[in-house]
Chains A and B, each alone.
Chain A
Amino acid sequence: MKLSGKVFKYGANVDTDAIIPARYLNVSDPDELAKHCMEDIDTEFVSKVSKDDIIVATTNFGCGSSREHAPLAIKTVGVSCVVAKSFARIFMRNAINIGLPLLESAEAVDDTDAGDVLEVELESGKIVNTTKNQTFTAKAYPEFMLELIEAGGLVEYTKRKISAKG
């Protein structure tokens, strides 16, 4: 699967309160959540983001709470994937479970600026910055996690396992 979009760039420790503040956690409608995505650190994000755009950030993206609403808000607002130097672990599990692709590549993050266009091939982890004409490769996922991603998240994976046993 090939993804392509323009880049929104952030720094280190973008936490789950920044991605979706707790005051919206009583909202269960993903579209409502998406309206408030990133609002405490970037008030213009929601108005400027287009479908398939890509968030690029440095280290520890998604740190903080276990709220699955965070990757859900990012996915629902239209972001196709997040590229970072590193991700917080609960955020990473949650993103896989709800089908938001994450890619780790320090080089891609260092050499990419806001507004650049990236093309991402999920299977190979190839990241191309078409604005700057540079190519990077993201860190590969462990095999077990790839199976989860390919199944479309934990719920689908579990359903398949249960029906395979059945």
Chain B
Amino acid sequence: MGKTLVEKILSNKSGTDAVAGGIAIAKVDVAFVQDGTGPLAVRQFDEAGFAKVANPDKSILFLDHAAPSPNQQLSNDHMLLRQFSKNTGVQLSEVGEGVCHQIVAESYASPGDVVVGADSHTVTAGAFSAVATGMGSTDIAVAMALGKTWFRVPETYKIVVNGKFQKGVYPKDLILHLIGMIGADGATYKALEFAGDTIDAMSMVGRLTIANMAVEAGAKVGLFASDETTRDYLIKQGRGDSYVAIAPDADAVYERVIEIDAGTIEPTVSKPHTVDNTALAKELGDVKIQQVFMGTCTNGRLNDFAVAAGILKGKKRHADTRLLIAPASRKVLSDAIAAGYIQTLLDAGATIMPPGCAACVGVHQGILGDGEVCLSTANRNFKGRMGNPDSYIYLASPATAAASAITGRITDPREVV
């Protein structure tokens, strides 16, 4: 019987015949925590009596969720993680380096890897054809110590996307459309596998956006077969030698196949307070926004700022709408400066924030006021997510975000370009 991507990778990493529904104990290639989940992982590591990390070169502590720290408790958490790095030799990604998932994409994840992180958006690295998934602090503490972890091998939903996107439509619209279609628990415990000519033609940045949001449908991982696009991306990161071609078998067994015609998708928005509460941007009516937030592990990459800068060039943000920009990594910021995008965004009235999670998690940098509305390029719009339960978060693509920053209300980008 043929194997899906997840079965193939877990078979290889467990040395067993991994079949959906079974349990696989797999070798872990990359393991990481961030500053929200890291301190608890360190405590559990100590509690379990571990002294050594199995693979310190590919175990990473990221300071990104509250970076730079907004208060003394978080500063103390950062100190604890720095000390753990000194004690064990694991890698430390300092304040200002960027969001864990972007740095894992730039520097760590390779096709065929098992990547586990104490952050739900660890699924982002599925774009490389890696089994990448989020777990809690205890699971990651044990994975770092032993260099392996257990998985229930998931059944797979194959998502087949064919056709060309209309003007103004991006991979973010596709993934919001899919989550709206199957629901926030539509793929719970399952793997998603993306295929079709739209996916074949998509950039790595687009694939990263889609993989990143697999968890918003409940999925364990969102996978893409590796191809020349994957190889080119790895070469650009100076990691071309880590490329391996991985594809599912032609006779792999899928629990469900969902087909989507990319040409029918329009700019899509998730309304408060769940990601599956989707609507078309053009049908929202007059939703005034006080803040636009562009960045995160979903849409804080160079291509995203290229799109935003293209729309905002020579324009100004609406007087009543703040425009916050947070590049996903130091490299993204540096490349966006070199390409002139940052200057364009500054001229349009944007506030540029340091690489990191910024306003996404509601611990610093852009917490909303009572009753305020934010349009964000992030992946999650739960009540209170951005620090205030009495506020409203809409999710959309960087194009929709840029168009809306100009008009001060949620706007279909085709209205302004």
Binding site for B on A (CB under 8 A): 12-13, 15, 17-18, 21-23, 25-28, 40-41, 59-60, 63-69, 86, 88-90, 93-94, 97-98, 142, 144, 153-155, 158-159
Contacts and interface: CB of A to CB of B under 8 A. Distances in A.
A55 to B, nearest CB: 17
B89 to A, nearest CB: 21
A60 B384 CA distance: 18
A50 B242 CA distance: 54
30 contacts: A13-B184, A15-B383, A17-B382, A17-B384, A21-B362, A21-B389, A23-B362, A23-B387, A26-B71, A26-B73, A26-B363, A40-B384, A41-B383, A59-B185, A60-B188, A63-B184, A63-B218, A64-B120, A66-B118, A86-B185, A88-B185, A89-B218, A94-B136, A94-B139, A97-B136, A153-B138, A154-B139, A155-B48, A155-B142, A158-B146
Contact of A22 (B36, B134, B184, B215): B36
B37 A154 contact: no
A12 B185 CA distance: 9
B189 interface: yes
B362 A13 contact: no
B317 interface: no
A15 B36 contact: no
B188 A86 contact: yes
B182 to A, nearest CB: 12
B47 interface: yes
Interface string B369-401: 000000000001011110101000000000000
Interface in B267-298: 274
Interface in B142-157: 142, 145-146, 150, 152
Given A67-B37, A158-B48, A159-B48, A17 B385 contact: yes
A94 B189 CA distance: 14
A94 B138 contact: yes
A62 B120 CA distance: 12
Interface in B86-124: 117-120, 122
B176 interface: no
Contacts of B385: 17, 22
A144 B24 CA distance: 10
A13 B185 contact: yes
A144 B48 contact: no
Interface residues of B, number: 51
B324 interface: no
Given A26-B74, A88-B185, A142 B152 contact: yes
Given A21-B362, A154-B138, A66 B384 contact: no
Contacts of B146: 158
B215 to A, nearest CB: 8
B5 to A, nearest CB: 18
B40 A22 contact: no
Given A23-B363, A60-B188, A68-B137, A155 B74 contact: no
4 closest Cβ contacts across the A-B interface? A60-B185, A94-B136, A68-B136, A40-B389
A155 B134 contact: no
B253 to A, nearest CB: 20
> Which of A64, A90, A142, A144 is most buried by chain B, counting CB atoms within 10 A of its CB?
A90
Contacts of B184: 13, 60, 63
